[in-house]
Amino acid sequence: MTEEGGSGSDMNVIISNLLKYGVIVSTALVLLGLAIVVARPPQAFPSSVAALVSSNYGRPTLSLTALLSGVSTGSPLFVLQLGLLVLLATPVLRVIASVVLFAAERDRTYVAITLVVFGILLLSIIVVGPAVAATT
């Protein structure tokens, strides 16, 4: 374990900043997307909630190229999706940063525990998420 005021507090600062800035960037992107929607509403926006759901309007893209292309054109839906993606990626990046920081401290127990957590996250993102999405 680390000493009081030593590298443990540095680790907490790094993790804290990662989470803080991830949420700030995500919030800024979501607010930007909402501002674009208000400034210039999408032309093909469904008129009712039922029409919105049945048309899959705004369904997230799984293509990074399409997402970045949509963001570069100023599409509000893609900007909103990027903001939500950053928000979802923030805790995953926190786990990766924890693995690196625990490894730098040579704390094998916490490296192992954090790698198990990372494996569970990857399993839920890569296997469970797409399986659930395919059934809806």
> How many domains does the chain divide into?
1
99 belongs to a structural domain: yes
2 belongs to a structural domain: no
Threshold 0.85, pTM exceeds: no
Residue written as tokens 């907490």? 12
Q: Report the distance separating Cα 89 and Cα 44, nearest Å.
A: 30
pLDDT band (50, 70, 90) for residue 125: confident
Over the stretch 4-47, which tens digit does the pLDDT of each residue have? 445 666 878 888 899 999 999 999 999 999 998 888 877 776 66
Query: Maximum distance among all alpha carbons in the chain?
Result: 60
Q: Which domain holds residue 64?
A: 7-135
